[in-house]
Structure 1
Amino acid sequence: MGIEFTEQITHFISSMRLFYMRTHGGTSRIKSVMYDCQNLEIKDSCHKFETIGILCKHALKVLDVVNLNAIPNRYILRRWTKDAKNRVINENKSALDGNGNNSTYVSEMTSVSNGMKRANEIIMRAKSYEETRRIFYEFLDSVGENIDAWLKNMNLHDSTTCDDLIANEVEPQIKNLSKRNPLHVKSKGITDAHKRHWDNKKKTKKIRSSKLK
């Protein structure tokens, strides 16, 4: 594996062994791996297993050093086994709807699973060189723009279709409606009764003033 040990501590805890190592002949940082021989548990500073579900080369080297010929079952995820593809197919069959057709959810799930697998393969091939990483990210940007444009076009198409349907249904109904005078709503303020009251008061005042003269 091209790995050399820089230090090894065997007295950390009774069942624990701590290893320090780095790539042979390289200038990379020193990695640490903790191995629990009682529970067959291994922890490394790379955290590769926690990230993508695969033990790093440092952890595998420790397993080799401690003469553990098989990877512990807890570190063999189902998605990396030989029957992983068959398991997906069986899950798809079990998720068939009443008509025997694959549901949208199953189709999306399978598509996401396949897409993540293919993307991860490309990432692993491109990660070592700056130029290949640049090509990868430019490709992602281009794909994202194409998808956004397609989705925007679909939204416009759906919106136009809905508008057309509404117009076709409502317009004939509007044409068949008879014309009516608009409703008049009285504004708040002085009512007719108030107007009559004030008119009577004015008349009374005029009569009184004329008598005084």
Structure 2
Amino acid sequence: MEDRTIVKVVDNFNIPREVIFFNADQVHKCSCMLFESIGIPCRYIIRMLRSARISELSMHYITKRWTKNCKREAAFDSEGNLLIEKSITSMEDSTRRKMATAHKKFEDIFQMAKTFEEGVDILIQNLERLSLLFEPISRTR
């Protein structure tokens, strides 16, 4: 059995909650299951962290949805279908996947380029050159 600490916490509503602290992983688990269900640490876990004088959350609690790169990747359902927000056009799924890949690649390049001023200049110059490749295509449509 893991090295763990179990604490019962009662709030103002007199609902007892059981918070388990796994020492090896430095992770708390609460019987309210808020973190497991929606990815937000509950007040009971936060109370335990405060009482232990821990001022920073473990990386375990920083799920992808809370990072600045959360929307950089396309989302797919369990069957591999691309999930999109209210589609306006009737684009093929393969085209949507390619667009999502291109968007992610551009975002990666942008994140690298913005770290120094010359990088942004290089990015702009190359985007202008790249846009010239697509001008004849867009004019013929």
TM-score w.r.t. the length of structure 1 is 0.33
More helix by share: 1
TM-score w.r.t. the length of structure 2 is 0.48
Higher CA-based Rg:
1
